[in-house]
Structure 1
């Protein structure tokens, strides 16, 4: 999807609760895309990291403001004493324009295949469909095993690798700018948060505009327009 976006969601501070929150954010964005009839493709779907490719749309300016630390305040599922916990996830969203795409040189790539693990049936476990591609100059690598086809996994891995190398090069080139991912989501520091999801009060705090929204349930159900209007 040229001239679209790459959306990355990563686990931050908070252990298992951060992983649960990551899943909540993934569902929130996907429901939003579906309600707006936007084309999207999940490139990477891991426990601690989600990467989604998204077509260009009318919400450009709003979506770019999603990058940063998203914080959640709630009682975890495994908390027996009812104690509230604060956890975080990091969001990084970048325009995926053709001119930005780093051109990979095949001689710089180390491609490895192996049998996929986990659920998926006998077919997945008996074919060398899982692909790991390492970019030797930067040591950046990607592993993909979501698809049964080795070719599809390789295609996904190349696309994600392009994204990660571009991100790495942009960070290196723009160390002193706000576009630098390290300055946006470094170590998922709570001080760099842009939004807080407070379940106890059904409230979302937008730290960029210093406004509150008391429709948390609707927002998590994909109604992001509520936040974009504030």
Structure 2
């Protein structure tokens, strides 16, 4: 039985502070996965967007309930007057259903390879392992150079490309999913919140449960059991 998820975190309101909050949320979930030995694969990782595929685990229902607007209240590092700022990130977690992904025709793809520009080492720039795939009808492009194998990079790039095309064009086949994603992600307003992370009081507020949890620092360190099972 396929029990895999796609976790999407995107920058919302707040500019640079929202980008920093995205990093905090990403680290929180990744530490949780590592503590629970949950297998995952990072698909996209930058300052504005993080997407990961999460493999079979017992926490799927808890993670799906994380979908919504996550709001942070804290004093930014560059705030000279000590004022608390409010920023947001959007989170969308949904079941990964490979059978429902758009079938892409080979003739619609432009596949390019180039030498990987990694962090260094004897394997860098020795083989054309990096892959860029462009879907010609939609002009959507994806680049992948995470793996040393061209085949692995191509497979990952194709998966990301399918997810992106589905999010943009496959609205009829996935109407409910796209409506939910639209409500959660496109309306990244401060007032529409799922959780609030209040740094001044070291607590997190779960607005769905109408409950507050202290020890925010420990929760951000990946101890999500405290919220999930209480």
- What corresponds to 2:164 in structure 1? 164
- What corresponds to 2:206 in structure 1? 206
- What corresponds to 2:120 in structure 1? 121
1:192 deviation in Å?
2.5
Q: Which moved more, 1:134-143 or 1:167-176?
A: 167-176
Report the Cα distance in structure 1 between the residues aligned to 2:178 and 2:158, rounded to whole angstroms: 27
- What corresponds to 1:180 in structure 2? 180
1:191 deviation in Å?
2.8
TM-score scaled by structure 2?
Answer: 0.86
Report the Cα distance in structure 2 between the residues aligned to 1:179 and 1:58, rounded to whole angstroms: 26
Report the Cα distance in structure 1 between the residues aligned to 2:140 and 2:157, rounded to whole angstroms: 11
- What corresponds to 2:70 in structure 1? 70
In structure 2, list runs of 5 or more residues that go unmatched: none
Report the Cα distance in structure 2 between the residues aligned to 1:33 and 1:176, rounded to whole angstroms: 28
1:24 deviation in Å?
0.7
1:12 deviation in Å?
1.4
1:7 deviation in Å?
0.9
In structure 1, list runs of 5 or more residues that go unmatched: none
1:211 deviation in Å?
1.6
Residues 14 and 213 of structure 1, relative CA distance in 2, 3 Å threshold? same
- What corresponds to 1:90 in structure 2? 90
- Give secondary structure in 1 for the equivalent of 2:104: coil
1:174 deviation in Å?
5.3
Count of equivalent residues: 229
Report the Cα distance in structure 1 between the residues aligned to 2:178 and 2:149, rounded to whole angstroms: 39
Which portions of structure 1, spanning 4 or more consecutive aligned residues, are displaced by more than 6 angstroms? none
1:110 deviation in Å?
2.2
Q: Which moved more, 1:70-79 or 1:148-157?
A: 148-157
Report the Cα distance in structure 2 between the residues aligned to 1:38 and 1:176, rounded to whole angstroms: 28
1:49-73 deviation line (CA, Å, top 9, x unaligned): 1111111211121111111111111
1:172 deviation in Å?
4.3
Q: Which moved more, 1:121-130 or 1:26-35?
A: 121-130
- The answer to whether the aligner puts 1:58 opposite 2:58 as a matched pair is yes
- Contact 2:13–2:88 under 8 Å retained in 1: yes
Q: CA RMSD in A?
A: 2.5
Report the Cα distance in structure 2 between the residues aligned to 1:112 and 1:79, rounded to whole angstroms: 45
TM-score scaled by structure 1?
Answer: 0.86
